[in-house]
Amino acid sequence: MNKIKKLAFCAAMAAAALPIYAQKSTYSGYFLDNYMYRFQMNPAFGNDQNFVSMPGLGNINVSLSGNLHLTDVVSPLGNKTVLFTNPGINANIALKNFGNREKVMTNEKIDILSGGFKAWGGYNTISISAVANAGVSLPKSFFQLAKEGVTNKTYEINNLAADANAYAQIAFNHSRDIKQVPGLRAGAAVKFLIGAGALQAKFKEADLTLGTDNWIARTNADIYASVGGFQFEQKRYVPEGTSGMQPYDYVSGAKVENFGINGFGLAFDLGAEYKLNDWKFSAAVLDLGFISWGETQWASTNGTQTIQTDAYTFSVDGDADNSFKNEFKNMKDDLSKLYQLSVNAPKSSYTRGLATTLNFAVDYTFPYYRKLHFGLVNSTRIYGPFTSTHFRFSANVAPVKVFSADVNVGVGTFGADFGWLLNLNTNKGFNLFLGMDHTVGRLAKQGIPLSSNASFNFGMNFPF
């Protein structure tokens, strides 16, 4: 892998390690008194005060989630740090860091403007937000091929998936006590969505059998791009060797012009909370909805395609023109030819569901010091290959009216973590909070977290 490819690979890993965990607000604040944005995790929650956010700074969430970490793809070699593909790194050592399936997922959510007020028998909020998600799910065989080349002659790189979307959201939330059932409170939110763009890639099959005389590839893939001004680029491939294959056009890249709005959608949040003595039980379902995207460009193998050719043959002679080093480099450069992705007629519309989140929680007030309470919340995000879940146990304290704090530990799909949140609320005038669900650990020299799990939550608001 040459220098440019190394840089591209590192850049891709860095991007993947930046905020697809659809985090609407910090779960460190789920049980915290006077945390303004609890309603985003359960629409039944209300506030004691009216408030308006600082435009653009009311509630900023950036999160990293995944089980593929920077330390998995780079290793020390002498006085240098190199990619796991470096020949100086033993294959068994390099590959032991990878599980059967590796995921890196990102999410960014910024509340552009929010406000809350008491009216109509309950508590109401209005929020305008910008949301962006992206992620990739990779089988271990993907990394084996990159490391081993033809050593392991058959690779089943199946069910590789990539997904990204970006949209604006206008949400209206109402919650109230249910007088007919003492202790019960319920809430709901309706969200109007304006899509900026979405990309979905599904590589269902990529079985590669590599030999010294020929290679066989069986592929099945689809790519959907719901982005205004998006166009696939194509090249003409004229096969070499004696394969008997005919020339064909294949997708070699893409470009975007005149980017703009390309979809509309609708979603709902539903939630409830029940108080019984020192206990509170709560449940919610979030982002139950869809976005109907406009014109969608579609590239596909149109079913399973099989290629057999001797265009790439390997010699054990390292100095030969068709040495493994040279030919495998060529094959990596021309990998897009393997898939034979063709450009199909665009779809006039393409409707996709949102990632739905289920939250269940219990909160217990400590009877000997009622300013202290403990909580346990489980959050499960349902989104095909990017489905994940986590549990978080927290201790929450509000020693004085203007200050509350939380510390918590979590465990789930992406391992264990430690979180915290500090919340300053003057009751009338000013609110500031700062916290992390996944506390950032060590950083690489370039400022990239060594772990793919980290988050940051910050907000400034004005209660009245």
pLDDT in tens, the chain (464 residues): 333 333 233 333 333 333 333 445 789 999 998 899 999 999 999 999 999 999 999 999 888 787 777 777 777 777 777 777 777 777 787 788 787 888 888 888 889 999 999 999 999 999 999 999 888 888 888 787 777 765 556 777 788 888 999 999 999 999 999 999 999 999 999 999 999 999 998 888 877 776 656 667 788 889 999 998 888 888 887 766 555 567 777 787 788 887 788 999 999 999 999 999 999 999 999 999 999 999 999 999 888 887 776 554 544 454 555 554 554 455 444 556 666 788 889 999 899 999 999 999 999 999 999 999 999 999 999 988 888 899 999 999 999 989 999 999 999 988 888 999 999 999 789 999 999 998 876 666 655 666 677 788 999 999 99
Q: Which residues pair with 408 in a beta bridge?
A: 394, 419
Q: How much is the pLDDT for 72?
A: 76
Q: In angstroms, rounded to a whole number, what is the distance separating the alpha carbons of residues 339 and 218?
A: 8
Q: How much is the pLDDT for 332?
A: 47
Q: How much is the pLDDT for 9?
A: 35
Q: How much is the pLDDT for 244?
A: 59
Q: How many residues can be counted in the chain?
A: 464
Q: In angstroms, rounded to a whole number, what is the distance separating the alpha carbons of residues 179 and 176?
A: 9
Secondary structure element (H or E) that encloses residue 91, with its range: helix 91-95
Q: How much is the pLDDT for 159?
A: 84
Cα dist. 251→223, 232, 239, 307 in Å? 10, 6, 15, 16
Q: In angstroms, rounded to a whole number, what is the distance separating the alpha carbons of residues 27 and 442?
A: 22
- pTM here is 0.81
Residues near 34 by Cβ (< 8 Å), separated by ≥ 6?
47, 48, 49, 398, 404, 423, 425, 431
Q: How much is the pLDDT for 395?
A: 97
Q: How much is the pLDDT for 232?
A: 87
Domains, the chain, ranges and CATH? 3-463 (2.40.160)
**In sequence order, what DSSP letters do the residues of 294-312 get, joined into one string?**
SSEEEEE--S-EEEEE-SS
Q: How much is the pLDDT for 103?
A: 83
Find how far residue 18's CA is from the centre of its chain. 9
